[in-house]
């Protein structure tokens, strides 16, 4: 239990109760869903995208809550203590930090923002820092991980209450540093407002997450991303990105840069692509004012170098021994991010999370640098959201691939065939795509079709182990499907050889 006065420290509010009477009140827990309320709870009403949480204050009351944090004053029973604030999301953020004892102040927090690269970079940072003996946890799209504990996350950047709760758990378990993804949605909804960031990283920016329930305009999207650099002590920025200067102009922290094209504090030169189709790596020289070092990363392309440069910049700032950074980056892999499956000895199968135009273009164009026969891509696009992605994905795949297998990717309540038809509009040559709405069958087909030297990209699902159909997450493992089908194909080939002999 925590004293109400402590939870309300530095929160501006008015109340129907004299705040002197707060001294004796203790709060069991804070809930922003009425469904979680019990006796002794404080309920915070958030104005959501779907419903207004103020609608549920009576439900919260009936479940035992007597302290209510509201944006709108609502007529309630006499024993309800109303705390009226200007914005309940900002208040929730501050109150959660107070409730959990401001754990982010005792942790080194590294926040990564940008359209692409957040999951990869946060996981790389954790890999390197843990090897350097700094106990580091990760929070992001792939979940929360620290020591050997993991927790799934609903959002890339969890709600402020969840975030401070996770920080508290991490701190109590000996974690020293947290490498976390900071989504524009999280910044827009004040989820990280009271997080004490030591380092903020900007990867890149291109139009995404614009539409109903997300950002009204690209300018708003940029504005939200830039906000992270007003919350941190030190900024690390990809200077080659078109919007780097806009971020720097809005930043209030000191800034260091990384890049390939423009002069930067940490630069990559002498880029060479490895020809090993099992790891699809890349070599480069990392140049700073004090040194020049060879690096190898087992992830392909220029975008992977940018991700590595961001990590090297963090390690340089934190004083991590260079050899540790180098070795860790050589071996670091992230689930579902350019993940090469060793299933067929004669073809390369990659699972990747590319689900918008920019990321799909990056991965497909990158693969051109590695000698291969046909490039085949299996992909779909989400239902019920950001329809613009369908055209983007179709435009890219129709141009870059020898063959596309158009399928489903979390169609949710939409008709998968409608989504596929939208994507297919980008193709003027019907021989360049096959339609197979059942993703399992589409993957099996790709594995069966694979010939010597082919590269097959299963795009969009990445780390996900489900298919979202009509609001239900149905278990779905691309890795298992590939492995099972590859086994059958290889067994069939062996049999054929035996018969021929």
Ligand X SMILES: CC(=O)N[C@H]1[C@@H](OP(=O)(O)OP(=O)(O)OC[C@H]2O[C@@H](n3ccc(=O)[nH]c3=O)[C@H](O)[C@@H]2O)O[C@H](CO)[C@@H](O)[C@@H]1O[C@H](C)C(=O)N[C@@H](C)C(=O)N[C@H](CCC(=O)O)C(=O)O
117 annotated to a ligand binding site = yes
Task: Please give the Cα distance from 107 to 247 (Å, whole number).
Answer: 25
Residue 454, contacted partner among ligand ATP, ligand X, none, CB below 5-8 A by kind: none
The gap between the terminal CA atoms of the chain, to the nearest Å, is 77
Beta pairing class for 14-15 and 81-84:
antiparallel
**Structural contact between residues 125 and 139, judged by C-beta atoms closer than 8 angstroms:** no
Instruction: Give least dist CB 421 to ligand X, A.
Output: 25
Q: Whole-number minimum distance, CB 113 to ligand ATP, in Å?
A: 8
Judge whether 257 is annotated as a binding position: no
CB of 334 to ligand ATP, least distance (A): 7
Residue 53 engages ligand X in binding (rule: CB under 6 A): yes
Tell the smallest beta-carbon distance from residue 86 to ligand X (Å): 17
Options 56, 68, 353, 476; binder of ligand X; rule CB under 6 A: 56
Told to check if 10 binds ligand X by CB under 6 A, we report no
The response to whether 384 counts as a known ligand-binding position is no
CA distance 128 to 123: 9
Q: Does 212 bind ligand X (CB under 6 A)?
A: no
Site residues (CB under 6 A) for ligand ATP?
116-120, 141, 156, 181, 203-204, 303, 306-307, 337-338, 352-354, 359, 362-363, 462
CB of 148 to ligand X, least distance (A): 25
Q: Nearest distance from residue 319's CB to ligand X, in Å? A: 31
In order, the DSSP letters of 118-169 are: HHHHHHHHHHHHHHTT--EEEEETTEEEETTEEE--SSSS--HHHHHHHHHH
Q: Which of 15, 19, 33, 373 binds ligand X (CB under 6 A)?
A: 33
User: Quick check: 89 and 46 in contact, CB under 8 A?
Assistant: yes
Tell me: is residue 34 an annotated ligand-binding position: yes
Site for ligand X in 133-172 (CB under 6 A): 154-157, 159
Region of 30-38, 300-308, 440-448, 489-497 interacting with ligand X (CB under 6 A): 30-38
Task: Measure the CA–CA gap between 283 and 260, rounded to whole angstroms.
Answer: 13
**Residues contacting 178, CB < 8 A, separation 6+:** 104, 107, 108, 109, 110, 136, 137, 138, 139, 167, 170
Nearby residues of 80 by Cβ (< 8 Å), 6 or more positions away: 16, 57, 61, 66, 67, 68
62 labelled ligand-binding: no
Would the annotation count 230 as a binding residue? Answer: no
Q: 126 a known binding residue?
A: no
Q: Which is nearer to ligand ATP, 117 or 411 (CB)?
A: 117
Contact letters for ligand X, residues 282-321 (x by CB under 6 A): ----------------------------------------
Question: For residue 62, what are the CA distances in angstroms to 35, 73, 181?
Answer: 10, 18, 37
Helix (H, G, I), strand (E, B) or coil at 457: strand
- Check: CB of residue 413 under 8 Å from CB of residue 471: yes
Burial of 65 (0-12, 13-18, 19+ CB in 10 A): buried
Which of 96, 130 has the CB closer to ligand X?
96
Least distance (Å) between residue 354 CB and ligand ATP:
4
Closest CA to 227 of 207, 205, 209, 200: 200
- Helix/strand/coil percent split, the chain, to 5: 40, 25, 40
Q: Please answer whether residues 239 and 257 qualify as being in contact, where contact means their C-beta atoms are separated by less than 8 angstroms.
A: yes
With CB under 5 to 8 Å by kind, the binding choice for 354 among ligand ATP, ligand X, none is ligand ATP
Site for ligand X contains 184 (CB under 6 A): yes
Tell me which residue has its CB nearest to ligand X. Answer: 48
Nearer to ligand X by C-beta: 63 or 327? 63
- Enumerate the β-bridge partners of residue 147: none
Nearer to ligand X among residue 45 and residue 396 (C-beta): 45
Rank residues 114 and 300 by Cβ distance to ligand X and give the closer one.
114
Which of these, 443, 466, 433, 493, lies nearest to 341 by C-alpha position?
Answer: 443
At closest approach, how far in Å is the CB of 397 from ligand X?
A: 23
- Only segment of 47-55, 250-258, 298-306, 463-471 that touches ligand X (CB under 6 A): 47-55
User: What is the C-alpha separation between 227 and 229, in angstroms, rounded?
Assistant: 5
Residue ranges of the binding site: 34, 114-120, 155-157, 183, 191
Residues of the shown chain interacting with ligand X in the complex, contacts defined by CB under 6 A: 32-35, 46, 48-51, 53, 56, 154-157, 159, 183-186, 209, 213-214
């Amino acid at each position: 239990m925590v004293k109400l006065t402590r939870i309300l420290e530095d929160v501006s509010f008015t109340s129907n109760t004299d705040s002197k009477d707060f001294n004796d009140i203790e709060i069991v827990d804070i809930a922003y869903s009425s469904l979680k309320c019990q006796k002794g709870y404080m309920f915070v009403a958030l104005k959501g995208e779907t419903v207004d949480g103020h609608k549920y204050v009576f439900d919260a009351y009936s479940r035992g809550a007597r302290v209510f944090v509201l944006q709108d004053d609502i007529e309630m029973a006499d024993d309800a203590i109303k705390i009226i604030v200007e914005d309940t999301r900002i208040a929730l953020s501050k109150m959660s930090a107070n409730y959990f004892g401001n754990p982010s102040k005792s942790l080194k927090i590294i926040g990564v923002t940008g359209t692409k690269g957040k999951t990869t970079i946060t996981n790389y940072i954790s890999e390197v820092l843990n090897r350097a003996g700094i106990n580091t946890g990760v929070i992001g799209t792939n979940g929360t991980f620290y020591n050997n504990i993991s927790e799934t996350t609903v959002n890339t950047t969890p709600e402020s209450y969840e975030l401070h709760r996770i920080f508290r758990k991490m701190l109590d378990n000996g974690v020293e540093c947290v490498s976390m993804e900071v989504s524009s949605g999280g910044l827009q909804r004040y989820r990280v407002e009271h997080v004490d960031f030591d380092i903020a990283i900007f990867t890149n920016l291109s139009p995404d997450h614009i539409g109903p329930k997300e950002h009204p305009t690209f300018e708003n999207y940029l504005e939200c991303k830039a906000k992270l650099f007003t919350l941190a002590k030190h900024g690390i920025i990809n200077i080659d990105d078109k919007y780097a200067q806009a971020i720097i102009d809005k930043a209030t922290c000191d800034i260091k840069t990384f890049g390939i094209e423009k002069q930067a504090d940490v630069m990559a030169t002498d880029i060479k692509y490895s020809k090993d189709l099992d790891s699809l790596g890349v070599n480069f020289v990392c140049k700073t004012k004090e040194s020049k070092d060879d690096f190898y990363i087992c992830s392909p392309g220029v975008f992977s170098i940018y991700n590595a440069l961001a990590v090297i910049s963090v390690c340089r700032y934190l004083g991590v021994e260079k050899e540790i950074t180098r070795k860790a980056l050589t071996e670091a892999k992230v689930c579902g991010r350019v993940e090469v499956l060793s299933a067929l000895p004669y073809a390369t199968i990659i699972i990747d999370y590319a689900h918008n135009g920019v990321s799909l273009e990056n991965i497909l164009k990158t693969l051109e640098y590695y000698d291969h026969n046909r490039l085949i891509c299996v992909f779909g696009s989400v239902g019920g959201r950001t329809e613009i992605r369908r055209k983007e994905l179709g435009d890219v795949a129709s141009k870059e691939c020898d063959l596309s297998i158009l399928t489903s990717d979390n169609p949710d309540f939409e008709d998968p065939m409608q989504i596929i038809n939208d994507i297919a509009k980008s193709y003027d040559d019907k021989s360049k795509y096959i339609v197979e709405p059942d993703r399992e069958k589409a993957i099996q087909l790709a594995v069966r079709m694979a010939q010597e030297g082919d590269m097959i990209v299963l795009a969009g699902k990445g780390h996900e182990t489900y298919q979202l159909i009509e609001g239900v997450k149905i278990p779905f493992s691309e890795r298992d499907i590939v492995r099972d089908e590859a086994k059958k194909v290889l067994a069939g080939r062996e049999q054929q050889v035996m018969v021929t002999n």
